[in-house]
Amino acid sequence: MGKAKKELTSDQAVRDRLDQILAEITAAQDQGVPTQEVLKKTSFNPEEEPSLALPLIDALARVPSPDTAQILLQILGEAGDKDLIKAIKRALYKLRQKGVRWEEKTTDKKPALTPPKPPEPEGYLSAIDSTGSRIIVLARPVPQRGLVVVFSIVSDKEGIQQFTVGKFSKRNFRGFLKNTVSSEDFPVIQAPGAYCLQLLKEAGAFTQSLSKALPQGYGEAVRQFSDVIWDKPLPLIYQFIKEDEVKDLPHLLKDSAHLHEIMPFSTWHLGEQEIAKYAERITEAEQSRIVLRPDQKEARINAIYRHALGELFPEEKRLLWKRRLEEMAYVLLKTGKQDEAREALSAAVDLNKPVSAIEPNPFMWDLLLKSIQIILETDQEKKEEEQKTSLIITP
């Protein structure tokens, strides 16, 4: 049930899947499973198969029985989607038209013993590495069982890369965070559990958008946190530093270029495939046989850089880097680097508008220069190594 279902692509596949779910419902009812638990005993997971929700409601409407009505009422009580709510109400109306009657509980009395609300989960986030990956950890106390811990590595390019669920004692969990997960260069900092869960859900949705299966256990883990909701704006940093505090402040934006001198920004760079052609053009310009004054050559190379800047950051890429900077601003803030956090957020806010080749975003400009320089230096080292090898005289 934790394993993601493949997207159904034909009417026959939908019918076959619905028949399977209905058979599982019937089997659960025959075993005396309480109505409110029936759907949980099936292989259907609305988060993993959202496209099946409405067809399932229609299918249930064709099974005229009080048990069916109770299942629909159970779904109605948990539904948040307007279309789904309308579909359930239509299905209940059809059942009434067919003569089905059921008991509806309308009492507002609270039960004598209200089960305690589960404790809020702890959340932890790591810094983001050069590939756009980071660690997300959720931990929730379980009575007499220590902590249930969800550990994941997510990427803004690939979705969920690693996912595990385990149990820890509180002592062992602290050691796991300190000695295994966190490091000086890539610290793991505490964040609201609801926010960490929201980031994990974002990664899950992105994974599915890439037509990749969600990892085993993901759906079940998310359901265990169904009571946890992040209802504040994203990203989290704006709860601490308002956009207006860093927007249109030239000194902050200019200083954002210095972020490349500290971890993890010093490891950030653009992919070789993205910038190889620009590095090649710069090499050609530097080695050109055309006689140019130093200032002319510099202008020519600078034009290549500015052309690259305009091509490399269309809106989708620009917003990806914006989100990275916003997320890192919170990490910087939580690790005591308030000035750097404001600089990172200033650079992020500036990326609300297209990257300008005339007045480039200082952080992005230095990211481009650094990335191309890495390729140029690597190529030069290869050439020097080849020359050394060619000078070796074999007997």
DSSP class of residue 275? H
Instruction: Give me the pLDDT at residue 112, please.
Output: 41
In angstroms, the CA 138 to CA 166 distance is: 11
Q: What is the identity of the amino acid at 258? A: H
Nearest-10 crossing angle of helices 338-350, 362-390 = 100
Whether a cis peptide bond, with omega within 30° of 0, leads into 64 is no
Distance of CA 308 to the CA centre of its chain: 28
In the numeric block, the tokens 């019937």 are attached to 26
In angstroms, the CA 235 to CA 316 distance is: 17
In angstroms, the CA 231 to CA 216 distance is: 27
Strand partners, 274: none
Q: Is 192 helix (H, G, I), strand (E, B) or coil?
A: strand
Residues 6 or more apart whose CB falls under 8 angstroms from that of 320 comprise 132, 156
Q: What sign does the dihedral 230-234-237-240 (CA atoms) show?
A: negative
Q: Is 102 helix (H, G, I), strand (E, B) or coil?
A: coil
Taking only Cα atoms into account, the Rg of the chain, rounded to an integer number of angstroms, comes to: 28
Is there a contact between 45 and 39 (Cβ–Cβ < 8 Å)? no
Is there a contact between 92 and 84 (Cβ–Cβ < 8 Å)? no
In angstroms, the CA 278 to CA 375 distance is: 10
Question: pLDDT 10s per residue in the chain (395 long)?
Answer: 344 444 445 677 778 888 888 888 888 777 777 877 777 778 877 767 777 888 888 888 888 888 888 888 888 877 777 788 888 888 888 888 877 777 765 445 444 444 567 788 999 999 999 999 999 999 999 876 789 999 999 999 999 999 999 999 999 999 999 999 988 888 999 999 999 999 999 999 999 999 999 999 999 999 989 999 999 888 999 999 999 999 989 999 999 999 999 999 999 999 999 999 999 998 888 777 676 677 777 888 889 999 999 899 999 999 999 999 999 999 999 999 999 999 999 999 999 999 888 899 999 999 999 999 999 888 878 777 777 666 555 55
Sheet order of strands, 188-192 included: 159-168, 146-155, 133-142, 122-126, 188-192
Strand partners, 138: 123, 150
List phi, psi (to 5°) of 10.
-145, 155
Instruction: Give me the pLDDT at residue 335, please.
Output: 95
Is there a contact between 88 and 57 (Cβ–Cβ < 8 Å)? yes
H-assigned helices in the chain? 11-30, 35-38, 53-61, 66-78, 82-97, 170-175, 193-209, 218-224, 250-255, 272-286, 294-312, 315-334, 338-350, 362-390
Parse the chain into domains and list their residue ranges.
11-97, 122-231, 243-388
In angstroms, the CA 290 to CA 37 distance is: 79
Residue 214, token pair as written in the block: 């969600």
DSSP class of residue 353? S
Instruction: Give me the pLDDT at residue 394, please.
Output: 54
Q: What sign does the dihedral 158-164-165-167 (CA atoms) show?
A: negative
Residues 6 or more apart whose CB falls under 8 angstroms from that of 300 comprise 285, 292
In angstroms, the CA 355 to CA 314 distance is: 8
In angstroms, the CA 351 to CA 315 distance is: 9
In this prediction the pTM is 0.68
In angstroms, the CA 364 to CA 309 distance is: 8
